[in-house]
Amino acid sequence: MNNFQKVWNDHTKQYDLQSQVELVSVAEAPMPNSNGKLYYPCTVKYTDPNGQVVNSQAIIHAKNYDKGMTVGTSYLATFIQTDQGVLITVSALTQAARPDANAFKSLFAQANAKTEAEARQAGAVI
């Protein structure tokens, strides 16, 4: 099942949901929205909260698409509740593997310490 995370939207004053989606197709040309900003209509595939794999219409803002997005790749999407239903916007951010937290433990201990002695006590290798 897909993992949806809630994120606060300062503009709408409500929570949006974010999750990974697979980019299935993208329109050849961008279209202007009501604010005059360009976006690309697209189709994305994801697992909904009921565990069903679905294809849905979404949009990619042109500034994101112009960074180089590829059909078949998974990207971070935001699911926004609107009066007309749910709007899915796709960003150019992919799901990258995070580094092992233990590998950076010493550096963070040193960075967050007020003194060298405190850093050593927290486990920093100086």
Domain edges within the chain: 5-94, 99-126
Query: Could you tell me the sign of the dihedral formed by the alpha carbons of 27, 30, 36, 37, in that order?
Result: positive
pLDDT tens, 26-73? 999 999 998 899 999 999 999 998 899 999 999 999 999 999 999 999
Identify the band that residue 3 occupies on the pLDDT scale cut at 50, 70 and 90. confident
Identify the band that residue 1 occupies on the pLDDT scale cut at 50, 70 and 90. very low
CA-to-CA distance for 8 and 12, rounded, in angstroms?
A: 9
Angle 54-60-62 (CA atoms, 0-180°, nearest 5)? Answer: 165
Q: What is the mean pLDDT of the chain?
A: 85
Level-2 CATH architecture, domain 5-94: Beta Barrel (2.40)
